[in-house]
Amino acid sequence: MHKDELIQLHTLMAQMKSILEEKGFTNAFSAYDSLAISPVHVHRSKAEHKLAIFVLGNTLASVMSKDDLSGFGKTSERMKELATRMQHSIMHENF
């Protein structure tokens, strides 16, 4: 995916986050919030936006899942794995 496409996806997912926060899921997004990156941060790297998407995707899927065996539960686990990989990749690039 190109960076502009990732930012568009990040924007859509951030909108979903806002809706869920309005519904009362305010504390669920602490891992994403700790990244301090939002879709409007276009100067941030493609890898950082990917990480934000994976972390946010993990939380969105977790909030929407009923258990770990549901489709959303499996998606949550996969997003968590991808976020971990991306975080290691970003750390490796910085050193």
Asked whether the predicted pLDDT for residue 68 surpasses 60, the reply is no
Task: List, in order, residues 6 or more apart from 95 with CB less than 8 Å away.
Answer: none
Ranges of each domain in the chain: 3-94
Residue 21 is inside which H or E element, if any?
Answer: helix 3-22
What is the residue whose two structure tokens read 């499996």?
74
Query: Which of 1.10.150.20, 3.90.550.10, 1.20.1270.110, 3.40.1050.10 would CATH assign to domain 3-94?
Result: 1.20.1270.110
What is the reported pTM?
A: 0.73
pLDDT in tens, 11-21: 999 999 999 89
